[in-house]
Amino acid sequence: MALRTVDLNADMGEGFGAYRIGDDAALLDIVTSANVACGFHGGDPEIMHETMRMAYTRKVTIGAHPGFPDLWGFGRRVIPFTCGEIERLVAYQIGAAQAIAAYAGCHVSYVKIHGALANLAEHDEGVASAIITATKAVDASLSVVAIAYSALERLAREQGLRVHTEIFADRAYAEDGHLLSRKEDGAVLHDPALIAERVVRMVEARAIETVKGNMLETQIDTICVHGDSAHALDIARTVRRSLEGAGIMLKSPHESTYYVV
């Protein structure tokens, strides 16, 4: 019987200049994939390089993590851009990340979009297509991490990109498989044990567990965790330990190709 594996991903390298957010070194001991900010919503060439080096030495797979050009808002606000402009924004950031990775002796394996832009791509086909177009134009061998049940997941698959479907460890799901809006009560889960148990249930069932307890079938390639507080790190560690305890192996989908080279 094939061994069940899953990836753990987290955003990192989201500081700027003298600023830092989250404990990236600690997080890199937990996750198998690192979404590295590309200098627009956070990150700068120094931080990108440091983060990629740290990831590389820990054999953590590296992804580009583009966002809106909005340092002030940390990429969490919708900045009005046309889909064409989003294509250029995303392409630019992927290229910058690839170059820093090349300089650091490693490489970028995937693209995961950040914040408000990722939220748009969950429902807006135009934005999702823009991300796909940019990714394919820059490097069609990159895979895309896409939220389960999102427009981006569906369209990226249709348009021939390799897709890694993502669930969130600490976010509640509505009955349609979409993330419950953060404005709703209970949208964010806080208890490490409950979070970890739910993650294991979802990975084992290959399904999203909704707030009402329904299980919606989906591929699950990667689980998003956070590292921006001691509590977040605790959740991430508990999720990892529970998955391993259930016999599920933590492994990036890119791992084999990555380290053979």
Which residues of the shown chain bind a copy of itself in the complex (CB under 8 A)? Answer: 15-21, 39, 42, 44-46, 48-49, 69, 71-74, 76-80, 85, 87-89, 91-100, 102-103, 134, 137-139
Look at the alpha carbons of 228, 69, 61, 57 in this order and tell me if their dihedral is positive or negative: negative
Residue 168's Cα: distance from chain center in Å? 9
Q: Which residues, at least 6 apart from 195, have a Cβ–Cβ distance to it below 8 Å?
A: 169, 170, 189, 235, 238, 239
Output phi, psi for 64, to 5 deg: -85, 140
d(CA 103, CA 97): 10
Phi, psi (degrees; rounded to nearest 5) at 89:
-60, -45
- Of 97, 10, 95, the closest CA to residue 58 belongs to 10
CA-to-CA separations, 159 to 84, 143, 152, 187, in angstroms, rounded = 17, 12, 10, 31
Question: Measured from the CB atom, is 91 or 155 closer to a copy of itself?
Answer: 91
Specify the residue, 83 or 205, whose C-beta has the smaller distance to a copy of itself: 83
Closest distance to a copy of itself from the beta carbon of 224 (Å): 18
CB of 165 vs a copy of itself, minimal distance in Å: 25
CB of 65 to a copy of itself, least distance (A): 15
- Of 108 and 220, CB closest to a copy of itself: 108
For a copy of itself, the closer CB: 97 or 248: 97
Q: Which is nearer to a copy of itself, 107 or 240 (CB)?
A: 107
Residues 6+ positions from 201 with CB-CB distance below 8 Å = 209
Q: Residue 41 or 254: which CB sits closer to a copy of itself?
A: 41
Contact yes or no for 175/213 (Cβ under 8 A):
no
Give 39 or 177: the residue with its C-beta nearer to a copy of itself.
Answer: 39
Contacts of 250 (CB under 8 A, 6+ apart): 5, 6, 7, 8, 32, 240, 243, 244
For residues 206 and 121, give the distance between their C-alpha atoms in angstroms, rounded to a whole number. 23
